[in-house]
Amino acid sequence: MRIKDIGEAELIERIRKLVTTHDDRVVVAIGDDAAVTIPIMGHFDVLTTDMLVEGVHFKFPLITPFQLGYKSIVVNVSDVAAMGGFPHFALVSLGLRSETSMNFVEQLYLGMMEAAGEYGLSIIGGDITRATRLTLSVFILGEVEIEMLCRRATAHVGDKILVTGCLGASAAGLQLLLHTELEKAVPKRKEKLKRAHLMPLARVKEARAAAMHGIHAMEDISDGLASEVTHICQESGVGARLYLEDIPIALGVKEVAKAAGMRLEDLALYGGEDYELVFTVPAHRSRDMAGRVFRETKTAVTLVGDIVREEEGIVLVGREGTISPLGAGYDHFKMAKSEREG
C-alpha cells in the first residue's frame, strides 16, 4: 500500500499509533498544532537538529528504512550527549515521495522507536510533506543540569585531548557497503564495521560520566576527529597536537584501508560518523579521568593529543615525529558526491 492511496490524515494517524508515549511530562503529543511538554526545573534546555537527505547522507538499499530511522535519532542524541545532557523529546519531519509504501514508513518509525527506547526519549510531533527525495529532519529537545553543561569553546592550553572508544569503524563500514569486494579483507569484522556505519551508538553514558568528573571542552565525532578538534580549537582560540600513533583504531579498519588503497588516517581521522566523543581535560587529571569514565561505562578512553597555544597551529604528529597540518573533515558542499554516499 502506497501513501498516496492512504492520504495524509490516515498516514499521520498510523504514525501516531506507532509512536505512542507514556511520558508524564508530555502534555500534548501528535494530533495538535504543536507538542507541549513540562520542563525540568533547574535544567537548561538543549536543542539540536540534523537533516538527512537521500543520496547525500544515505542511499537505498545500502541502508534499510529501519536502520535509517534508528540512525536519524542517534545522530541527534549524540549532539545532546556532547553538551553533557540527555535527550528527552523528538519531533520528526519527513519529506516523502507519494509512491513510498506504508510499510517503508512503518519500518522507518520502528527504527526511530527502537533508538528512542534505548535513549529514553519520546517522539511527540513533527511534520509530513511530499518531496522528490526522502528527507528526514529530526529535532531533539534535551536537558542538562546547569553544572554539567559541556561546550566546544572552553578548551585550555595544557589540556590533554581524549577520545572514547575506537575510530574509523563507520568509515570502514561505509567502504564495505560501497565496495563489497573489500569484505574478504575482514571476514570476521565485516558485520561489526557495517553496523557501526548503519546503526551507530551515541555515547550518552560516557558523556555524562565525563561531564560529571569535570571536563573543559567536548564534542561528538560526527565529521571525523580532525574536523572536531579543529572546531574545538577555533572556538576556544587554541591550537592542538594529535599523535597519530595514539589514535585508537577500531579492529579491521587497517585491513579495510589497505584493501581499499586508502590511508588509515582517511578512515580514522577524516571519515566521520563514529559518534564517539572527543574532550579535553587538564593534563594532571587526564589519566584519572580516562580511568573513571572507563570504570563507570566500560568504554575505553584514550589520550590522543595536547591543547597548545593558538600560534602553534593544529597539527598531526606522525609516527616518525613528522609534523603536518591537520586537514579538515567532510565538507558537504566542497567534496564530490561519490565520496560519501552510503
Q: How far is the CB of 149 from a copy of itself (least distance, A)?
A: 6
Question: In this structure, are residues 120 and 21 in contact, taking their beta carbons and an 8 Å threshold?
Answer: no
Rounded distance between C-alpha atoms, residue 114 and residue 71, angstroms: 10
- If one asks whether residue 276 binds a copy of itself (CB under 8 A), the answer comes out as no
Q: Which of 46, 186, 193, 317 binds a copy of itself (CB under 8 A)?
A: 46
CB within 8 A of 283, min separation 6: which ones? 158, 159, 160, 306
Instruction: Report the residue number, 178 or 328, with the smaller CB distance to a copy of itself.
Output: 328
Strand partners, 307: 240
Which of these segments, 3-11, 108-116, 238-246, 311-319, binds a copy of itself (CB under 8 A)?
A: 3-11
- If one asks whether residue 47 binds a copy of itself (CB under 8 A), the answer comes out as yes
Q: How many residues bind a copy of itself (CB under 8 A)?
A: 74
Which of these segments, 64-72, 283-291, 309-317, 326-334, binds a copy of itself (CB under 8 A)?
A: 326-334
C-alpha cell at 109: 518509525
The binding track of 184-223 with respect to a copy of itself, each residue x by CB under 8 A or -, is -----------------------------------xx---
Site for a copy of itself in 118-157 (CB under 8 A): 124-133, 135, 137, 139, 141-142, 144, 149, 151-153
**Which of 39, 45, 64, 177 is CA-nearest to residue 114?**
64
The binding track of 62-101 with respect to a copy of itself, each residue x by CB under 8 A or -, is ----------------xxx-xx-x---x-x-xxxx-x---
Instruction: Report the residue number, 59 or 258, with the smaller CB distance to a copy of itself.
Output: 59
C-alpha cell at 52: 538527512
Q: Which residue has the cell 537527505?
A: 53
* 200 upstream amide cis, omega within 30 of 0: no
Q: How far is the CB of 145 from a copy of itself (least distance, A)?
A: 12
H or E segment at 130?
Answer: strand 122-130
- If one asks whether residue 235 binds a copy of itself (CB under 8 A), the answer comes out as yes
Q: Which residue has the cell 510533506?
A: 129
Instruction: Report the residue number, 31 or 291, with the smaller CB distance to a copy of itself.
Output: 31
The binding track of 279-308 with respect to a copy of itself, each residue x by CB under 8 A or -, is ------------------------------
Instruction: Report the residue number, 125 or 252, with the smaller CB distance to a copy of itself.
Output: 125
Instruction: Report the residue number, 135 or 302, with the smaller CB distance to a copy of itself.
Output: 135
Q: How far is the CB of 4 from a copy of itself (least distance, A)?
A: 5
Q: How far is the CB of 106 from a copy of itself (least distance, A)?
A: 16
Instruction: Please give the full DSSP string across 145-185, using - where no structure is assigned.
Output: EGGG--BSS---TTEEEEEES-BSHHHHHHHHHH-GGGGGG
Single-letter code of the amino acid located at 10: E
246 half-sphere exposure, CB direction, 13 A CA radius = 18
Q: How far is the CB of 333 from a copy of itself (least distance, A)?
A: 5
305 exposure class (CB count in 10 Å sphere: 0-12, 13-18, 19+)? buried
Strand, coil or helix: what is 325? strand
Instruction: Report the residue number, 83 or 172, with the smaller CB distance to a copy of itself.
Output: 83
Rounded distance between C-alpha atoms, residue 172 and residue 196, angstroms: 9
Instruction: Report the residue number, 121 or 182, with the smaller CB distance to a copy of itself.
Output: 121
Strand partners, 185: none
Q: Which of 39, 214, 318, 325 binds a copy of itself (CB under 8 A)?
A: 39
